[in-house]
A and B are shown apart, each in its own frame.
Chain A
């Protein structure tokens, strides 16, 4: 395994890759072993169906964890008598039912819709200690890159690959190129992990990382909490990267320690020692290096319909002509038309009617604390019609309630909901009405993502809270 190449300096990505090669073929395609597989209800039914039809089993059900998240309503799931409240949408109910049938049939542990541990797979994995540094982690969901914040090699896969992993616990892959994105210096006050990753996406572009696994390095990354690192790595896919990685350190080890599925006893000591070795060696080479100065980053918002369409909150809506590429000019014209914005408009003058605080990018306890800190003692503006806070998991919800955060949100006029993916992609009833704006802590501002005709502005939790208070995109540093 890893020892074979011990003399050559290697990147973190190469170390994890080398430790997981089952077989290397002549054309450099590798059969890579998968340590952890997260399964949710949207991208798995066809994979289980294919296994059933071929008479195949799940090779390692013990390395697989199923959690429904995309379709679940964020309103109560059980009535006062403990009976399930049926999901109104028949197709959503059918997908949930399929997962509830498939998991036990194939021997997979299912965290059910009303379990305290239920939540968004990318929140549940790290929270349960299922996701571990140095592990290979996959899920039929592009935001699987999230777990790279722990120093795991984690990436999204399609349903055929879900089937492949279920049947073989491996994937056939070619090693990606490696890129270092180094953030030098410290983030300024009011500038968060979300602002950082939005800024990175603006610099690299939505396709800038295509074909690469990105390792985020530098002081600004080291100084982030683990939850902040999960936020950064979560959006690696938004700049096209296959996966994001942040080298594990003492903070990572401290974070993992004691979680339900984390290693125990002698295993723990061995694991922690290995994790400590998981860093890029001096002299190891990346295929590409991008350096960003943290001091250049302000609280950041998006103005368009691609996550690369970022601007500082102090900035204005750009003009199509300000872009060199003619096809980007055309895309900008379409985006601005969809978004109902005109070039030169100040971002802080953009009114919002909806606020969504949640998603696998920003629904952990620190995110909710950041939003609550802004909302404490304040109320939402009259023009904000709908504002919801959706915790990432039942355990995040419980923790927030223990800290009284739920009351801060409720007193400010926001709704406090049950955990799930919710309005990030509107597969459940949480949608933004056509033509209305939403300041959203999620990860994608695509056309129609939050509902047909919905206009999304991606922001940090603190910035979403600030917008809720003022009724427009606002600089949280001025509140």
Chain B
């Protein structure tokens, strides 16, 4: 995973609430068996409108997306994160995110920044004409107008993002702890460690 320290550039002032993952990437795009090329399908329904923000000269290729409450609700499809990445989006700012989406975004190096609605409203206004800067190290979003919005982020996620760490690799290094757990569980809850056999 690529390390992320800061994201800087134009931010798409999208602002919609309850944007579900069917809107981010419709189901017919889920038939791929790779992670690439999903940017074409990103926000497909909205982009049928010739005046949509995503394809406007000003916002094409913008690294930041600003959205409303509950961004990424609905289906668990990680294709939503892959589609955003393929579209060039490296950070999403919103008042709240669905739990599954924010996990998927994090695992793909997309920074999800939670800010209060007032801050998001202000950024939506600024973003129409000016770039937005996200500094992960110092946990702050700034604008050329001296706006300064600090944000919270889980320390572990921050550490992984800053260093581009592979979570599977990190967990595999805890193999002995997992084996200890399995041995204890086999004694305490024996039926749970008996699964199925491959046919």
The answer to whether B190 touches A267, judged by C-beta atoms less than 8 angstroms apart, is: yes
Which bucket holds chain A's interface residue count? 35 or more
User: Quick check: B188 and A1 within 8 Å, CB to CB?
Assistant: yes
Contact in complex: B22, A168 (CB < 8 Å): no
CB of B81 within 8 A of CB of A158, answer: yes
A172 contacts partner chain B, Cβ-Cβ < 8 Å: yes
A-B contact pairs, 6 of them (CB 8 A): A1-B185, A23-B174, A27-B154, A33-B182, A135-B192, A447-B22
Where the two chains meet, the residues of A that have a C-beta atom closer than 8 Å to any C-beta of B are 1-2, 19, 22-23, 25, 27, 29, 31, 33, 35-36, 42-43, 45-46, 49-50, 54, 56, 59-65, 70-71, 89, 91-92, 94-95, 98, 103-104, 107-110, 130, 132, 134-135, 140-142, 144, 156-161, 163-164, 167-170, 172, 174, 176, 206-207, 210-211, 237, 240, 242, 261, 263, 267-268, 270-271, 274, 306, 327-328, 331, 425-427, 444, 446-449, 452
Task: Tell me whether A132 and B192 are in contact (CB under 8 A).
Answer: yes
Q: In the complex, are the beta carbons of A109 and B74 less than 8 A apart?
A: no
Measured in the bound complex, the distance between the Cα atoms of B169 and A168 in whole Å is 9
Contacts of A134 in B (CB 8 A): 189, 192
Q: Report the interface size class on chain B.
A: 35 or more
Residues 31-87 of B contacting A (Cβ, < 8 Å): 31-35, 45, 68-70, 73-78, 81
Most buried by A among B33, B34, B69: B33
Q: Provided the pairs A427-B28, A448-B22 are in contact, do residues A109 and B99 lie with their beta carbons within 8 angstroms? A: no
**New A-B contacts (13) at CB < 8 Å, excluding given A327-B69, A427-B27, A448-B22:** A60-B195, A63-B196, A89-B31, A92-B31, A158-B78, A159-B104, A160-B78, A206-B73, A242-B100, A261-B195, A446-B20, A449-B27, A452-B45
Least CB distance from A258 to B in Å reads: 14
Q: Is the CB of B17 within 8 A of A327?
A: yes
| Interface residue ranges, B against A (CB under 8 Å) | 16-18, 20, 22-23, 26-28, 30-35, 45, 68-70, 73-78, 81, 96, 98-100, 103-104, 107-108, 154-156, 167-168, 171-172, 174, 177-178, 180-182, 184-185, 188-199
CB distance from B172 to the nearest CB of A (A): 6
* Chain B nearest CB, measured from A218 CB (Å): 25
Residue of B nearest to A272 (CB): B191
Tell me which residues across on chain A come within 8 A of B182, comparing CB atoms: 33, 169
Query: Please, which residues of chain B bring their CB within 8 A of the CB of A170?
Result: 171, 178
